[in-house]
Amino acid sequence: MTFNLFILNFALKLQYMKKIIFTAVILFLVKGLFAQSLNDKSIEKRYFVGSTLFMIANLVDDPEPPNYYQLNLGYRITEKDVVSLELITWNYYEPLGIPWNKKKTAPNFSGKVQALGAGFAYKRFLWKKAYAQVHSTALRQNYLDESDNKIQRGFQLFNTVRIGYQFRFFKNRIFVEPSIGTTFWPVNTNLPESFQVEEDKWNKYFLGEPGIHFGFNF
């Protein structure tokens, strides 16, 4: 019994040490980036506000619009390193893992999902204005039946890896970023049984998601 308690205590301490080391590494990297930022006087416009052209889908009624809205608030740490906060809300009516070639024939949920959340994104310019970006968004999800009655509530961690190119206009006051991405959601909890049945038919990732983001620098 004593030996088992020793092993348990050692495992807990090991996990605690891992968290300390991980936090220290993150703080070291952030400190280094911000130190570099303070020494970089060449960045004229450090901040930006933006969104995505996916909101155009709100004008389409097929059968219902996604009511998708997104607000991005960003900061340029260096010329190549950019971080942003993303506020997102939308509705969806089918499993997110349905591939492009199956979307016309795959069944929808018996209702819809209303998602609301916030995320963090990190962008790295790799060559000229070509970039890679990672997003991680925490979403509270309300599951509604076909009569728009809330059945239950869940949580989703939605992640995206994206590559794209930034076009700048009007002396870098406006930018547009066409991109292609892969999305995946390792955490997706408390779906109603009828929703879960449809969700389990597909992968927990989606390949080839197009995107066109835009923003205003200041």
User: Does 37 score more than 70 pLDDT?
Assistant: no
For residues 6 and 96, membership in a common domain is answered with no
What pTM did the predictor assign? 0.78
**Closest to 88 measured CA to CA, from 156, 189, 175:** 156
Here the CATH number for the domain that contains residue 185 is: 2.40.160
Q: How many Cα neighbours within 13 Å face the side chain of 141?
A: 22
Does 200 score more than 70 pLDDT? Answer: yes
Say which residues have a Cβ less than 8 Å from residue 113's Cβ, sequence separation at least 6.
91, 92, 93, 141, 142, 143, 144, 195
- pLDDT (tens digit per residue) in 169-179: 999 999 999 99
Please check whether residues 4 and 69 belong to one and the same domain.
no
Structure tokens at 215: 């923003």
Q: Are residues 180 and 212 in the same domain?
A: yes
Residue 166 is given by DSSP the state: -
Assess whether 72 and 160 both reside in one domain: yes
Which residues lie closer than 8 Å to 181 by C-beta, 6 or more apart? Answer: 160, 161, 162, 163, 208, 209, 210, 211
Whether 96 and 3 share a structural domain? no
Show the domain range for 19: 1-39
Task: Give the model's pLDDT for residue 214.
Answer: 97
